[in-house]
């Protein structure tokens, strides 16, 4: 496992833990690029996307942490419409602070359990 980037190692480690802990729950996948934030709820068994939301849909210019909070709230609203209340959070190798933390707190406040 030499020469593998730290972020990729972290991503693989997080994904393995999620598979072990709760294999039947849908996965809330978080992805952050330099400009946008993406969130999807993926069914673990089939791999199908049940709900999705991203920051491209938000037309306002806001700081990144506020945009992450809006994306977290909207993905929670969309998942609750489809009767998905309990998920496992896949942070995609990102450390739990900043945008990831504000996204997760907003999703929890809107009604998702993870």
Domains, the chain, ordered by start: 1-11+53-114 (3.30.420.100)
What pLDDT was estimated at residue 16?
Answer: 85
What pLDDT was estimated at residue 1?
Answer: 57
Cα→Cα distances 78→13, 16, 28, 53, 110, Å: 28, 26, 12, 8, 10
Query: pLDDT digit string (tens) for 5-30?
Result: 888 888 888 888 887 877 789 999 99
What pLDDT was estimated at residue 14?
Answer: 85
List, for the chain, all residue ranges whose pLDDT scores fall below the cut of 50: none
- Both tokens of 1, joined, read 């496992």
């Amino acid at each position: 496992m030499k020469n593998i980037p730290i972020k990729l190692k972290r991503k693989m480690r997080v994904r393995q833990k999620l598979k072990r802990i709760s294999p039947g729950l849908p996965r809330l996948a978080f992805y952050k690029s330099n400009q946008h934030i993406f969130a999807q709820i993926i069914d673990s068994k089939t791999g199908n996307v049940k709900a999705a939301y991203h920051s491209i849909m938000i037309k306002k210019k806001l700081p990144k942490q506020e945009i992450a909070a809006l994306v977290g709230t909207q993905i929670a609203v969309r998942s609750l419409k489809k009767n998905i209340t309990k998920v496992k959070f896949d942070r995609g190798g990102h450390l739990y602070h900043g945008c990831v933390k504000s996204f997760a707190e907003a999703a929890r406040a809107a009604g998702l359990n993870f």
